[in-house]
Amino acid sequence: MKPPLTELDIKTSDSGFYEGFTKHVTITAKVLIGALIVWAVAFPEQAGAFLSNINSFILAFFNVWYIYAIALFLLTCLILAAIPSSGKLKLGLEHEKPEFGNFSWFSMMFGAGIGIGMLTFATAEPLYHFASNPSTIQGMTDESAANNVRSAYQYSFLHWGLGAWGAYALAGLGLAFFSYRRGLPLTIRSSLTPLFGSSMEGKWGHVVDVVAVVATVLGVAQTLGFGVEQFIAGLERIGFGGWLTRPDGEGGTTSTTLGIMFALMIIMGASTLSALSGVGKGIKWLSNINMGLSFFLLTFFVIFGSTFFGLSALFVGIWDYLVSLPAMMFTVWDAEAPGTEGELGAWQSSWSVFYWAWWIAFAPFVGLFLARISKGRTIREYVLGALIVPSLMCFVWFALVGGTAIDLELNGNAGGAITGAGQEDQLFAMLAVMLQPTLAWIFSVIVVVLLLTYLVTSADSAVLIINTINAAGDEGPKARPHIIFWGAALALVVGSLLIGGGLSAVQTAMVIGALPFSAVMVLMCFALFKAIWRDHRRQKQGIPVVYETATPAE
């Protein structure tokens, strides 16, 4: 057998504005994202209608693809971690140790991957499924009743548990394995070299990286869109004035154009400054603040929330989730079928398929970031850390925070104040029900600060990841104009889509952008199995399976 491929010559510019960057990838990605921004700003109605039609087509014909793809990603990670020979392989050379301690490692991957959604959906999603989920559709439980709590958590955990982190872990594993063991560039195309070899140096490799950049921008835009809406709701709660929102004509409120612009200026300005400082400074510092404030807020709900109700929901919910996970991961309902089958299919498209697309779009960003901070760890350590710890953190948040909201509605103390609030305002509404006005204001300020740090962490990490892909995997310092460009591009994508069509426009663009990258990730699964299997055979023949490097100093 031949030694594995340990060199991938991706041409980058030697001088000029794009020095150190792959022009084909960088310029193409900028043109595509720029065209989307101009289109959304200049022709908002036309863009919205066109994107909506494509989104409907994808949800109708690719729902099976998304569901089985996520199942494949999770199974790939679990199998590689479980097999003794592959699980003990180090993501790096044998002498290399992890760069970050466990606390910083967990903090960074949790903050980058889930943080914003946790603040928005820890309250909103259990409440929604408490009112409606497949069990209520099939008549097995009652809407907004005590017998529906277990089902609410079963489906909440489905969307924020192992499936989500399986997608992230797979992308990170593919990148880390081929970069830190083979010495290949830390970019998406390197993970497909076992299948396509040195052809990844050329145009097809460029296509893979462009797809990854576009998916990253749209996936992060989706996350930032939810965060911006909640950030604006929080600012209004703590007294920044009614100019941030306006009535939506349906009894609720929506963010004003000025409110969106104001929020994005704060978030993207801070994130660009953090991105300029790099992973080891600004991002690490903000991630540790995130984790500290998160534990403080969680402790508050443990002490003053519906603790017994929440803990019961946590343990019973985890049991229900694990027992039903195989069926939930592989069951596909037809949205076009009549009756109950169609209702179940419509629910699955709106929730599960949407989430799977979101996690796939987010995977190149979180995956590359996970790879960047996981060098020196074994595959088993990496997979278990990336799957179990963040999933459990999400489960705890959903159970204690969302459980308190459900309990307050069940016992009548909330009087519909929480369920009647918009998705972005439900956490603040719950604090207002639980606490007297002054304390509610103080804790609302804490949530707003925490939300801002999560938004900044996600945005600045995304900017660094995008530039790493554009620079053919170079993790070194990037030119300031490119950092500023992608920071501004993220703000403009979020702002133009939110202003033109609201969150639904951002969601639609994200689902479309996730589809091509999902194919890349499926190929990544087969590439990993092939590479590890062939490395096992190479080792039996005494052929080196890691790239050569200088011996470390004694």
Identity of the amino acid at 5: L
Output the pLDDT for position 488.
85
Q: Torsions phi, psi of 545, nearest 5?
A: -120, 0
Q: Mean pLDDT highest for which of 101-110, 438-447, 509-518?
A: 438-447
The residue count of the chain comes to 554
Assigned token pair, 140: 């097995």
Instruction: Kindly tell me if the per-residue pLDDT of 89 is higher than 80.
Output: yes
pLDDT band at 293 (very low <50, low <70, confident <90, very high): confident
Cβ neighbours of residue 395 closer than 8 Å, sequence gap 6 or more: 157, 160, 161, 314, 317, 318
pLDDT tens, residue by residue, 508-537: 788 888 899 999 999 999 999 999 999 999
Q: What local confidence, expressed as pLDDT, does residue 350 receive? A: 87
- Alpha helix positions (H), 62-100: 63-82, 84-87
| CA–CA distance, 37 with 408 (Å, rounded to integer) | 42
In terms of C-beta density within 10 A (0-12 exposed, 13-18 middle, 19 or more buried), how is residue 521 classed? Answer: buried
Nearest Cα residue to 508 out of 45, 43, 51: 51
Alpha-carbon distance 424 to 404, whole Å?
17
203-237 and 257-277 helices, crossing angle to 10°: 120
pLDDT band at residue 256 under the 50/70/90 scheme: confident
232 with 452: CB under 8 angstroms? no
Give me the mean pLDDT over the 418-430 stretch: 90
Contact 220, 367 (CB under 8 A): no
> Model's pTM, two decimal places?
0.90
CA of 483: how far to CAs of 211, 314, 528, in Å? 19, 41, 31
Q: What is the pLDDT of residue 370?
A: 85
Tokens of 513: 């952008």
Cα 196 from Cα 105, distance rounded (Å)? 32
Under the banding of pLDDT at 50, 70 and 90, the label for residue 84 is very high
Within 10 A of 64 (CB to CB), how many other CB atoms are there?
Answer: 11
48 vs 512: CA distance, rounded Å: 13
Measured between alpha carbons, how far is residue 104 from residues 31, 98, 109, 297 in Å?
Answer: 36, 11, 9, 19
331: phi then psi, degrees, rounded to nearest 5: -75, 130
Cα–Cα distance measured from residue 462 to residue 471, given in angstroms and rounded to the nearest whole number = 14
pLDDT of res. 554: 33
What is the C-alpha separation between 454 and 461, in angstroms, rounded?
11
State the angle between helix axes of 63-82 and 162-180 in degrees (0 to 180), rounded to the nearest 10: 60
Tell me what the mean pLDDT of segment 440-458 comes to.
87
| pLDDT of 250 | 66
pLDDT > 90? residue 178: yes
CB neighbours (10 Å) of residue 436? 8
- Cα separation of 389 and 312, whole Å? 20
pLDDT band at 287 (very low <50, low <70, confident <90, very high): low
pLDDT on residue 552:
40
User: Which pLDDT value is given to residue 291?
Assistant: 74
Highest-confidence range of 109-118, 331-340, 435-444, by mean pLDDT? 435-444
- Please give the pLDDT value at position 550: 41
DSSP for residue 338:
S
Q: Calculate Rg over the CA atoms of the chain.
A: 23
DSSP 208-235: HHHHHHHHHHHHHHHHHHHHHHHHHHHH
pLDDT, tens digit, 9 for 90 and up, residues 221-230: 888 888 888 8
Q: What is the DSSP letter of 239?
A: T
CA distance 338 to 317: 31
CA dihedral sign of residues 481, 486, 487, 493: positive
Instruction: Kindly compute the dihedral angle of the four CA atoms of residues 340, 343, 349, 353, in this order, to the nearest 10 degrees.
Output: -40
CA 112/CA 220 separation, integer angstroms? 10
Between CA 297 and CA 402 the distance in angstroms is: 13
Distance CA 471, CA 479 (A): 11
Residues 178, 170 contacting (CB under 8 angstroms)? no
Q: Are 350 and 511 contacting, i.e. CB atoms less than 8 angstroms apart?
A: no
H or E stretch covering 362: helix 354-373
Amino acid at 245: T
- All domains of the chain in start order, with CATH: 23-540 (1.20.1740)
CB 451 within 8 A of CB 234: yes
Q: Which candidate, 458, 468, 383, places its Cα nearest to that of 174?
A: 383
Task: Name the pairing type of β-strands 245-247 and 253-255.
Answer: antiparallel
Q: What is the mean pLDDT of the chain?
A: 87
- The answer on pLDDT for 113 being more than 80 is no
Mean pLDDT on 461-473: 86
User: Looking at residue 191, what DSSP letter applies?
Assistant: G
Q: Half-sphere exposure of 176 toward its Cβ, with a 13 Å CA cutoff?
A: 28
pLDDT average, residue stretch 263-273: 80
Q: How many CA atoms lie within 13 A of 102 on its CB side?
A: 6
φ, ψ dihedrals at 89, nearest 5°? -65, 135
Q: Where is mean pLDDT largest: 175-189, 366-380, 445-459?
A: 175-189
What was the pLDDT predicted at 72? 97
- Look at residue 348 in the predicted model and tell me its pLDDT: 93
Tell whether the model's pLDDT for residue 176 goes beyond 80: yes
Cα distance between residue 544 and residue 2, in whole Å? 10
Q: How far apart are CA 77 and CA 525, in angstroms?
A: 9
